[in-house]
Amino acid sequence: MNAFNKHIQEGKDFEHEKIGHVPYQELLSYSQLLTGNRPDGWIIGDKEIVLIETKIGENTASNYQIYRHLTGKNGFKISANKINSCKIINLTWIELAKFFDKVKSNNIKDKFLINQLLKYISMTGQKLDFSYITDKKIDEKIDNKIHKEQFSLFLQEFDAELHKQQLSFFRKKRQHSQLWDFYGLRNNQGEISKDPHYTVGFRDKEISIYLTTTKKHITSSNNNDAQNVLFEEKLKEFYDTVMRKCAGSKEKELELSRFFIAQKKYKLLDPQKGAQRGETIDPFTYRIHFSEIKKRIKTITEIILVFSNLGICKQFELGYAIQFFDFSRTREDSLPQLRKSNRYLLMNPDKLIKKFAEFIKETKDIFDVMDN
């Protein structure tokens, strides 16, 4: 915090020649720092006073703005030399929602206020909430605006989970005109690798993550090439691991329906010169779920290599998907149901995020083979 006071006293960040290098939001914070601004709200208790500065989406509170709230006349009026004794806690909307979800109160007023807060957080897209999928009627379409907001929030939480598990994959942060983004490793120039990469997508019929690469990373002119052999081995190892984890009960076996292997070829429909985006067609699609492979994984990998060498597919995918069914038909009994199991994951998105992170961790060996 002493740095903030130094900035104010010396005015270093306001030198004319440096302004061009200051991001707009930070420059705005400097302006507010000098001209004064008010926090978004207060909660005043018997012994505690809480100052609230809220941000939505991927916006973050500026340190300078927080400093102004702490020291200014519209804030706590703390003297600059006492700032170091302050403990600042940063909470996301999701963290607040998780906390209030666990609050149990018999007070009618408290319950009403908590429910209204949680409803507000969900409506503004600041809380992961897939009820717009799980509760929709069969003839209703998914609200694309909500889908887009939830997708952006899901990616933020997924980023945090990858960081927590020390998985060194970074998001490209592409424009979400289409609801997918990809994760790769950073090269020496700081760029995120495109091939291979992991794709996270929110489709009309499923939420998925898949490891994808172009066919050049799994094929060669010689089918006995060591690269092909290693790819087959690693794919079989992963398949065997999944099969072992899912053995033992009908409930666990449902998980096999979520894993898939696919090959695709897609191209622009009626392409125009220089066109990068547009409507596409899929002249070739091959997709098989783990639940259908049984003991034929070696045959499946051979088929993948044949299709790749024939040149009729553009990319390979190894994925995990939570499909959207008509959840209104979920039976309330104890029998294993994929419909019910998928609904449970969608109603507990923190568990789904961990599933996606686990998928990356368990397929990293295959990624490394592709990346060589």
Q: What is the pLDDT of residues 12-51, one digit of tens each?
A: 433 333 444 555 555 555 555 555 567 788 787 787 777 7
Q: Are 129 and 149 in contact (CB under 8 A)?
A: no
The whole-angstrom separation of Cα 61 and Cα 66 is: 7
Stronger pLDDT, 239 or 74, i.e. the higher one: 239
Element (H, E) at 183: strand 180-184
Q: Can you give the pLDDT at residue 15?
A: 39
Of the candidates 251, 245, 240, 358, the residue with the CA atom closest to the CA atom of residue 300:
240
Q: HSE of 263 in the Cβ direction (CA atoms, 13 Å)? A: 22
How high is the pLDDT of residue 17?
39
In eight-state DSSP terms, residue 163 is: H
Average pLDDT, the chain: 82
Sorting pLDDT into bands at 50, 70 and 90, what band is 3?
Answer: very low
**What does the angle CA 59 – CA 69 – CA 113 come to, to the nearest 5 degrees?**
70
Q: At what angle do helices 93-102 and 108-123 cross, to 10 degrees?
A: 150
Beta-carbon neighbour count of residue 146 at 10 Å?
17
What does residue 168 show for φ and ψ, rounded to 5 degrees? -85, 55
Give the residue from 324, 347, 356 showing the smallest Cα distance to 101. Answer: 347
3-state secondary structure of 184: strand
* Residue 164 near residue 350, CB atoms below 8 Å: no
Write out the two tokens for 240.
């065997």
User: Given this model, what pLDDT does residue 23 score?
Assistant: 58
Closest CA to 195 of 316, 351, 295: 316
Separation of first and last alpha carbons in the chain:
46
Prior bond of 271 cis (ω within 30°): no
| Residue 177 pLDDT greater than 80, yes or no | no
pLDDT average, residue stretch 324-349: 92
% residues pLDDT > 90 (the chain): 38
Cis peptide before 196 (omega within 30 of 0): yes
Is the pLDDT reported for residue 84 higher than 80? Answer: no
pLDDT computed for residue 146 by the predictor: 86
Per-residue pLDDT at 254 exceeds 80? yes
Query: Where do the domains of the chain lie, and which CATH numbers do they carry?
Result: 2-85 (no CATH), 93-123 (no CATH), 138-371 (3.30.930)
CA 332 to each of CA 136, 255, 340: distance values in angstroms, whole numbers, following the listed order: 18, 19, 9
What average pLDDT does the segment 138-165 reach?
A: 89
- The reported pTM is 0.76
